[in-house]
Every structure is written in C-alpha cells, then in structure tokens.
Amino acid sequence: MNECLRVSPISAVRGSVSLPGSKSISNRALLLSALSDGVTEVRNLLVAEDTEMMLGALRGLGVGFEQNEDGTIVKVTGCGGAFPVKKADLFLGNAGTAMRPLASSLAFSGGEYTLDGVARMRERPIAHLVEALNALGAKISYLNEAGFPPIKIEPAFHIRGNLAHIRGDVSSQFLSGLLMAAPLLAPEEGLRIRVDGELISSPYVSLTCRLMEKFGVTVKTTEKDFLVPRARYKSPGVFEVEADASSASYFLALGALVGPLKVEGVGQDSVQGDAAFVEYLAKMGASVTRGENWIKTAPNPYAKKLHGIDADVRTIPDAAMTLAAIAPMCDGETTLRGIGSWRVKETDRIAAMEKELSKVGCKVESGEDWIRITPPEKLQSATFDTYKDHRMAMCMSLIAAGGVPVFINDPKCVAKTFPDYFTRLSTVVEN
C-alpha cells in the first residue's frame, strides 16, 4: 500500500530556502559534457531520478565520470562526440530530458541501441522527433506501438541534406534534442532546423542554445529557423547548475500566500524560463523582490488574498501548475491558457488537476489546452492522488496554506526531481 503523508495547515512561512539544481539544466549539462572534448566538472547537479537515468545511460554508453559523496559534483570525461559503446539497451525511466536528447545524439552514432522507459514513458509521444531524424537518414523504428517508446536505433553515419523539419507544438524537447545533436552531424555548411507550426515552451529551447554556447557552439536563430554549425563541443572546465526555477515556484507561491519567504539559488539573472513565474504572482497581487541570486515573495500588504488571473502561460508550462494549485486560495477565478503540453507529461496534468482541485470544493472546467478554476466559499480538506507525478504531489501540498490539512498519496514520487521537498518545506513552516 502506498504511503499517505499528512501536511498540517500552514498559517505562515518565514526565513529562506535553498534549492537543488535545475533538472533541465542538469541533464543537458551532463549530455553536453559527455559529447565534448575534455573533462567537465558539473557542480550543483540535481540528485534525483531523472539525472540518475541520464548518468546510467551515459555509463552504459561508455562515458567515464566520477561523483562526489553526495552526488552534486560530477566530473565527466567527454568522448568527443563519439560514444565508445556501439550496442546498448538503455532504460530511461520517465525522464523526457534523457529520452529525447539521447535519441537524437545516438541516431547517427553508428551503433545499435534500444531506448525504453516506464509504462508512462511508453505513452509519451516521440513520433515527431523520430520522423525528423528518419527524414535525415536515421534508422529508427518502434518496438511496440508506433509513435511511442520503446524505440530501436540501427547504425547510421551520415545525414541527408542540410535542412531538418521538426514539429514544435507537442514538446520543445524534440527541438532541444535535435539542436544538441546537430553540431556533430551537420554537413560542412551547417544544419538548418525549421520549426513547423507553433513552438511551445520556447524558453526551454533558448536555454538549450545558451548552454550549447557555454560548450563552444553558437546557434544562429530566426523566427522559425535554427542554423547550427558543424562543430565539436569543448568543455568549459567547470559548469555550475542553477537552482531549479520550477522547484522554486512552490516556495515562491507559499511566500506570496503566507510569507514572506526568500528563495536562494535563482534570481533576476536566471537563464530559466520558469523564473518568470514570479511575474504572474505579481499580477495576482503578491509582493516580489529580486536580487542577482535570490527572489523574495510576500503577501500584498493591502489585500487579504491574492486575486485570480486570466493568462497565457505557455512559456512556463511546469511552473504554471503551481498557479493552478494556489487558485483555490485566491479571490475570483483563474484561467490558464496555452497548457496543451500538460496532456503529455508524467500524467495528463489537466485532467489530474481538474479531478484533484474538485475535491477541495473548486468548480473546475477545462479544454484541450486550458483550465478554469473557481475557488470555493470554504476550502475543504482532501486526500490527493498524485498519479506518479512529482509536480502533482508538490502542487497539492500548497493547499495546506489555505488553512486545512491535506493528505498526499505516494509522496515519494517527488524523488523524480526533488527528493527532499517535504523536508525542506518543513524547515520554513512556522508552527
């Protein structure tokens, strides 16, 4: 039987909290370090299931690395773009930040590989990426259901042409994966990657390009095109991972509801798109101050509650879930738009959020890419299901800031990105 965790009513939070490294940056940095010439020391690495999956895959591909005792510092010996092991079966759990980039990086590495994951990963689409790679000359096939992992990669060495097309409206990870692989497989004139349709979660793509630049490769961008030169990645020597802005959102939200609370490790100079989460808190009436490496939030001194908003949040898809979670404690309804990507995450997050927020008395409506939450007159205590989704667990814990106890089923699912979330939460709650 799964564990059920009681979170007592939270009337106030105080002090400060430091956060683990960004998942998105950690896994990108590990892969780029592996593909580089030289040794890279990655610091403040996130220690969680998703990074363990990437490290396990790199080990299986023959990439050498050393970790310190707590796993937050990893020295990666780069393989210069050529993975030593040419035949491997890789299990990637539910880590989309490992599955999509590795599929791209292995497609033209001249080896034979299978990439698989947990049951939910087998439900997460990968067809648009596979189609783009196969159109370039890769030999990738599906081992079960077409369009979904597990996939088999057979040896391919050279791409056809200098133009790749990729859909941008399902997951930005498809484009990010192709971008990171592109310098190593591009023809002499470079590889042009064209985005067909709308590009969702564009800040994550910008993040990819900024990290590639730190490893010596500059991507030229226009509105729809990305021109990637043929180049070798070069180790920057030391790479420092920012604190995770998505993880920061839970504490920033708590600060806005019952703070003040200071979050350290991510600030006004952040490269992460989810750092813009605080701008939405400000629109809801929260007090927000930012420094170079910290953000502090507090309730509006002139209002009893935050107020609901109607906002397009496609640029902060992960952190936007936190806005949905605090909507029950706001005045007026909250409508979040541009969240179609929630449907293909660790669970169908729109459906999950609708079901769980209904338990506390909210009226919840939703469509293919939107959700509308009307808070109840009186918040109810509830037992929340988490759907093996780390963000559902962390989001639902915030309901306790409405003055009611909440119960979280399977709280350990937070191990995917933030294993000690509930411990860190307890350190800032005022009893």
Which residues are catalytic, by number? 318
- Quick one: tokens of 395? 């989001």
Would you mind telling me the total number of residues written for the chain in this entry?
A: 431
User: Residue 311 and residue 401: Cα distance in Å, rounded?
Assistant: 23
91 DSSP β-pair partners? 116
Q: Is the dihedral of CA 351, 354, 356, 358 positive or negative?
A: negative
Instruction: Quickly count: other Cβ atoms within 10 Å of residue 293's Cβ.
Output: 15
CA dihedral 412, 413, 416, 420 (to 10 degrees): -30
CA dihedral 414, 170, 280, 266 (to 10 degrees): 50
User: Residue 40 and residue 42: Cα distance in Å, rounded?
Assistant: 6
User: Residue 7 and residue 281: Cα distance in Å, rounded?
Assistant: 23
Instruction: Quickly count: other Cβ atoms within 10 Å of residue 238's Cβ.
Output: 11
Distances, alpha carbon 340 to alpha carbons 122, 171, 174, in Å: 19, 10, 16
